[in-house]
Chains A and B, each alone.
Chain A
Amino acid sequence: MTTTMIDSVTMFRRDLKHALRYPVMTISGIGTAVLFLLLFVGVFGNALGADFLPAGAGRYIDYVAPGVILMAAGTGTAATAIKINQDMLEGIIARLRTMSIARMSVLTGQVIGSLVRTLLSGILVVLVAVALGFRPSATPVEYLAAFGVFAMLTFALTWMAVAFGLATKTVAGANSLTLILQFLPLISSAFLPTDSMPAGVAWFAEHQPYTPIIETLRGLLMGSGIGDSAWWALAWCVVLAAGGFFWSRALYNRPRGA
């Protein structure tokens, strides 16, 4: 166990150096989330807020910001999947496989790196949202819980992204698969309440993983009701994280070639 941790930290340091020397992927992940924030607050904000939010629901930016903040967790997955996919094509990983090191550290190092980068992206998106007028009403404990929700989702999505990166043969394929994670929030309660949608879409939006997670975050930051969303959020994150982890492990340990 300790070897796994030591080796993971070593691999995390490698990932950190990569991110500093080749920051484009990290920046584009943050950029996508910020762009959505500007699009929905600046471009659609007035129209959507006035027509679709129930009366007394408050300002649209306060409604939409939690969802877009969580989008940052999704957009960060592209960098992770691409990075893993590229790595597997490089000779260095073949070398590591022939060495007596903690096997999973190649992946866990990447997961820690992605986690750190995406959490920083999330904080940056929050700051942009605040600059645009987002005013959370959370207490310090609620802020901490909100951070926990974001970290939990990021952890789960990162493991899925690692599996995507391992499962695909090309960088383009890896990137395409993560589009599911990146754009799934578009059909959720992120931008509008689900009851404003047609029945079929509303059903999907209510039952997909992002919605309970968004509702939980919104509840913590804005004081809207959470209900059983927190349990659903937790369940989804555990399922996604475990699924991603075991899928990744199976893919990484399968023999090459064939």
Chain B
Amino acid sequence: MSAIEVSGLRKAYGKHTVLDGIDLHVAEGTVYSLLGPNGAGKTTTVEILTTLQAPDAGSVTVAGHDLATDPEGVRRSIGVTGQFSAVDNLLTGAENLQLMADLLHLGKRAGRERVAELLERFDLVDAAGRIATTYSGGMRRRLDLAMTLVGRPRIIFLDEPTTGLDPRSRHTMWQSVRDLVAAGTTIFLTTQYLDEADQLADRIAVLNGGVLVAEGTPAELKRLVPGGHVRLQFSDPARLEHAAVRFADGTRDDEALTLDVPGDGGVGTLRTLLDRLSHERVEPDGLSVHTPDLDDVFLALTAKSPTLYTKDGVR
């Protein structure tokens, strides 16, 4: 059974179209990543799927509940950790979790046990009695996710969960996501970081300008762009010329003095290349192996978007 089913999703604000017909299919127990530059419509998608906004057109089913006719059913099945911290700043960590437990009617004892369990699991025991405003960015995000988990939701939406976090906190967050998936939870993750999608996602959809420009497993997406190559670096034009004549399938760059020779970077092909280099008496100063990564895919697919790497850009 699929956890999330979306077809023909559209949303516009006035004349500005944000989502122009999106289809998504998320299998249960998997991590699905929606990847896209700032302003691509990621947050709007999450807000529609989590009942915060109404779509203009299209059908959405979350955990078997139709969004249009049974939003309460959707809300009962999901947990959301938004892009902006959704903790109560004037409450302590423990009180924030307790608030969730109370609103979910877990009962006194079960609620308290769940709060203690989550404080322990997210390493917040020492900070449990402190007001959330005193928390660091990483702690807030951990509390945020812990609050999302109080009700044991089957489907969790994470909207850019690691934006602005330091590397250690990022890895802690990634580990939490892996633990959740291992326990059978479905994760819908938006991110603008390619390595994050590469690390976590079973499937990736690339959203650009309100439409999905690609969809597939990370490996499938990598196959969409030209294969890898070995870059040979030279110190003078004469040597580059000498090499270029002998490796006619290479791509030369006269300014950088490099020659890119196609190859997948495997040990076998490298050995063959090195043998050929010595046989042809080509002596590069340096050699580096380039395998295609999601960056190549992303840049190729979203080439029209100049805002790609403005991390603090307006969305």
A→B interface (CB under 8 Å): 3, 6-7, 10, 13-14, 17-18, 21-22, 90-92, 94-101, 105, 255-258
Contact = CB atoms under 8 A, between A and B. Distances in A.
B86 A95 contact: yes
Interface string B83-108: 01111111100010001101111000
B89 A90 contact: yes
A94 B87 contact: no
A258 to B, nearest CB: 6
A97 B84 CA distance: 15
B75 interface: yes
24 contacts: A10-B102, A10-B103, A13-B102, A14-B99, A17-B91, A17-B95, A21-B131, A22-B90, A91-B86, A92-B88, A94-B52, A95-B80, A95-B148, A98-B51, A98-B78, A98-B80, A99-B75, A99-B151, A101-B103, A255-B53, A256-B47, A256-B52, A257-B47, A257-B53
Contact of B88 (A14, A99, A100): A14
Contacts of A13: 102
Q: Is chain A's binding surface mostly helix, strand, loop or mixed?
A: helix
Interface string B50-76: 111110000000000000000010011
Nearest to A105: B103
A34 to B, nearest CB: 26
A10 B97 CA distance: 12
Interface residues of B, number: 35
Given A91-B84, A92-B86, A101-B103, 15 more contacts: A10-B103, A13-B102, A18-B90, A21-B90, A91-B82, A92-B88, A94-B80, A95-B148, A98-B79, A98-B80, A100-B72, A100-B75, A256-B53, A257-B44, A257-B47
B259 interface: no
Nearest to A92: B88
A94 B90 contact: no
B147 interface: yes
A98 B50 contact: yes
A95 B82 contact: yes
A255 B104 CA distance: 23
A96 B103 CA distance: 9
Contacts of A257: 13, 44, 47, 53
Contacts of A255: 52-54
Contacts of B79: 98
Nearest to B54: A255
Given A99-B75, A255-B53, A257-B13, A94 B82 contact: yes
Interface of B: 13-14, 44, 47, 50-54, 72, 75-76, 78-80, 82, 84-91, 95, 99-100, 102-105, 131, 147-148, 151
Nearest to B71: A100
Q: Which 8 A-B pairs have the closest CB atoms?
A: A91-B86, A95-B86, A100-B75, A10-B102, A100-B76, A98-B80, A98-B50, A91-B84
Given A92-B87, A256-B47, A98 B103 contact: no
Contacts of A100: 72, 75-76
Nearest to A254: B54
Contacts of A18: 90
B47 A91 contact: no
A96 B51 CA distance: 11
Contacts of B84: 91, 94
A10 B25 CA distance: 37
B86 A94 contact: yes
B52 A99 contact: no
Contacts of B54: 255
Nearest to A19: B90
A257 B147 CA distance: 24
Contact of B87 (A7, A91, A97, A258): A91
A6 B108 CA distance: 13
A100 B52 CA distance: 12
A36 B90 CA distance: 31
A17 B90 contact: yes
A6 B103 CA distance: 8
Nearest to B78: A98
B105 A6 contact: yes
A2 B237 CA distance: 83
B248 to A, nearest CB: 56
